[in-house]
Amino acid sequence: MKMAQKVLLLVVEDEEAIAQMYSDRFKMAGFDVDVAHEGEEAINKMATEHPNVVLMDILMPGLSGTEAVERAKANPATRNIPIVMLTNYAESVDLQNALKLGATDYIIKSESSPEQVVEKIQRILEPIPGSG
């Protein structure tokens, strides 16, 4: 599915190879992509670039993904940006906390191909009746 308009995705992932893989795959699907490698950088980019959606790793050095969600949802300028958590553990306490704090959804890295991740993000971005 090609996007009618450019959609900015912020990939927040501390592992360079994984960040690059998602970045490349989303660019092939027609997204504009920016990358942050830790939570503090992600918060700053969300506030300045206003991405349409954020794909955020939970476990990162410094500010974790869960802490970044909490900060993003507390800021009126970023609270409505959908955040999809990337995790290796469906049962993690960090994931449950991120969802309670306002994360939109989550993706288990080991169970999802990059194509499946793109499809999930596209579904999240599908127009919501009455929002346009």
Judge whether 33 lies within some domain. yes
State the average pLDDT for the chain. 91
pLDDT > 70 fraction of the chain, expressed in percent and rounded? 92
Judge whether 130 lies within some domain. no
Token duo for residue 78: 């970023």
Judge whether 131 lies within some domain. no
- Residues 127, 48: Cα–Cα separation, whole Å: 23
- Residue 5: Cβ-neighbour burial (10 angstroms; 0-12, 13-18, 19+): exposed
Number of domains in the chain: 1
Judge whether 1 lies within some domain. no
- Residues 89, 69: Cα–Cα separation, whole Å: 17
Write the CA distances from 110 to 18, 55, 117, 131, integer angstroms: 12, 15, 11, 33
For residue 70, pLDDT over 50 is answered with: yes
pLDDT band of residue 128 (cuts 50, 70, 90) is low
What CATH number has the domain bearing residue 103? Answer: 3.40.50.2300
Domain range for 25 is 8-125
Give the pLDDT of residue 88: 87
